[in-house]
Amino acid sequence: MSYYKIDDIEKTDVLRDVYLTFYRLTTSQSPTGNFGRMFSGYSKSSSSERDIRGQKVEESPNDHPIGTRSLTIQNITDVFSDNWIGFDWSNGEQHSPDNLGGLSHSYPSKSGVFRVWKSEGDVLEAVGTARDLNEEIATVIPDDKNNWKVSYSCKGFQSRAETSEVESILSGAHYIATKAVTNVVENREYQIKNIIENGESEETELKQEMPEQADVVVKELLSIANSGGGQLILGARDNSEIVGLDNIKKVKERVSNLIEGNTKTRLPINYENVSINANDLLVVSINGAEDHPFAFKDGKFYRRNGPQRTKMSGNELQEWFSE
């Protein structure tokens, strides 16, 4: 074992990506103990809230990740080239929201990697992996008057570990070539999978379906916002089993109506439909409260204590408003 001390905490992630990229360059192999991979014969730990510790197992899991064996890294110096890192990139397509009249540019509805940059820029604004290029690229491009260029390469991913490794290589290679940090956009499907597998926590609530006491949904969202923000995922049980929703449109409308009728202020909510293994999930994300905590219609405030929702005490409210 060896280590290297990093003084600039802001560069920790990108320097990790640089070292992992160099490892791939020099060995042509994927690191075993990274990106959620485990050494053969061992299981991995869960989040601290679920308190499951990794241990030795009699048989190796059948889904043991194999890494990005098909990727041969080459040409890391020109981040705009059509073969950067080893992907077969499309030509840079102009993407200007104003010129498109608010309509989204059309990209392949396939999984793959993408890169985004300003037309006159010399570094990449963002790189990432996507389960659906057409859906996810549009969410990355800022809605402003700049002219943006987009390039992509279709690629299938076999595991979350593989997408994480590719994201790390994109980030690391970009820093090696430009000495600049780029925004890394994670594959959303695998990101949601990881959140569900880690179980309920201070920032995550899982519900199999709309509960009979529907106002519970609103109280959970308020508690998450008052604790820093996070997400409510409908279509997954609290034991992390993904079951999906029968009518995701109806559930979304129900949640929206409940929020509007049970809160005293507009909440910073975002809705997202995510399909995992043919199971449709509704992810309701909420930003953390900033100027003041959010209250239910009866004037009560809630927050998260680990995975549990609790009423905010007088002292907690006093501390909030005195800051």
Q: Tell me: the pLDDT tens digits for 297-321? A: 988 999 998 889 999 888 888 877 7
**Range with the poorest average pLDDT among 13-27, 169-183, 239-253:** 13-27
Residue 297 Cα distances to 259, 260, 263, angstroms: 10, 10, 5
* For residues 161-175, average pLDDT: 91
* For residues 124-148, average pLDDT: 82
User: In which residue are the tokens 């859906």 written?
Assistant: 135
Distance, CA of 131 to CA of 232 (rounded, Å): 21
Residue 63: predicted pLDDT: 45
User: What percent of the chain clears pLDDT 90, i.e. is strictly above it?
Assistant: 36
Question: Which residue, 190, 192, 172, 191, is CA-closest to 182?
Answer: 172
pLDDT bracket for residue 24 (50, 70, 90): confident
Average pLDDT, the chain: 82
pLDDT at 62 over 50: no
pLDDT at 205 over 60: yes
Distance, CA of 236 to CA of 248 (rounded, Å): 13
Q: Between these two residues, 163 and 62, which has the higher pLDDT value?
A: 163
Distance, CA of 117 to CA of 54 (rounded, Å): 41
Residue 156: predicted pLDDT: 86
Spell 290-316 as b/e; 16+ CB within 10 A means b.
eeebbbbeeeebbbbeebebeebeeee
pLDDT at 100 over 70: no
pLDDT bracket for residue 167 (50, 70, 90): very high
* For residues 272-300, average pLDDT: 89
Q: What Rg value do the Cα atoms of the chain yield, rounded?
A: 22
**Range with the poorest average pLDDT among 33-47, 56-70, 187-201:** 56-70
Which domains, from first to last, does the chain contain? 9-52+86-191 (no CATH), 199-322 (3.30.950.30)
Cβ–Cβ under 8 Å, residues 150 and 138: no
Cβ–Cβ under 8 Å, residues 76 and 177: yes
Q: Any idea what the Cα angle at residue 37 is, between residues 31 and 42, rounded to 5°?
A: 115
Cβ–Cβ under 8 Å, residues 156 and 71: no
* For residues 263-277, average pLDDT: 86
Cβ–Cβ under 8 Å, residues 233 and 194: no
pLDDT in tens, 137-147: 877 876 666 67
* For residues 187-204, average pLDDT: 87
